[in-house]
Amino acid sequence: MSKKFLILIVLICFFGVYNYLVYTQSQPPTKPLLSTNALQGQKLWQDNNCNSCHQFYGLGGYLGPDITNVYSLKGGDFINAMLNSGISTMPLFHFSDLEKQNIITFLKEVDSTGFYPDKKSIIHKNGWVEISEK
């Protein structure tokens, strides 16, 4: 058996052991970050492509405004009114009351994760950014 072939066999064995260890490790159970209602709202958000026009933390489409903090800035009633009426470039989606409530819960829970833009963040000389959290 050539030396190269032996090295190849050893490397394949290491690869196998490595993969076994990585993929069979038990993970601590993770709990979803959003409540059940907010998860329903998130699904509506994704299915209706809200993100093609809106942004969270500045990421998304740019036809509509960033709505990371729309819940704390304008409140649930305002969001409800927005979803009831649609407006020039924002389509009217015809959601049921429950669906609207779930979207509002989703936006409320997104809002609770932080500020955007985070005007109170401090940028240190070494590049470290200290964000203000909710």
**How is 67-98 classified by DSSP, letter by letter?**
-TTHHHHH-HHHHHHHHHH-BTTBPP----HH
- Residue placing its CB nearer to ligand HEC in the complex, 19 or 84: 84
Residues that bind ligand HEC (CB under 6 A): 45, 48-50, 52-54, 63-65, 67, 70, 74, 79, 82, 87, 89-91, 93, 103
CA dihedral 117, 120, 121, 126 (to 10 degrees): 130
Q: Shortest distance, CB of residue 92 to ligand HEC, whole angstroms?
A: 10
Q: Shortest distance, CB of residue 33 to ligand HEC, whole angstroms?
A: 19
CA distances from 84 to 20, 40, 46, 92, 99 (A): 53, 18, 19, 7, 11
Q: Shortest distance, CB of residue 9 to ligand HEC, whole angstroms?
A: 56
- Residue placing its CB nearer to ligand HEC in the complex, 95 or 118: 95
DSSP 28: P
- Residue placing its CB nearer to ligand HEC in the complex, 2 or 89: 89
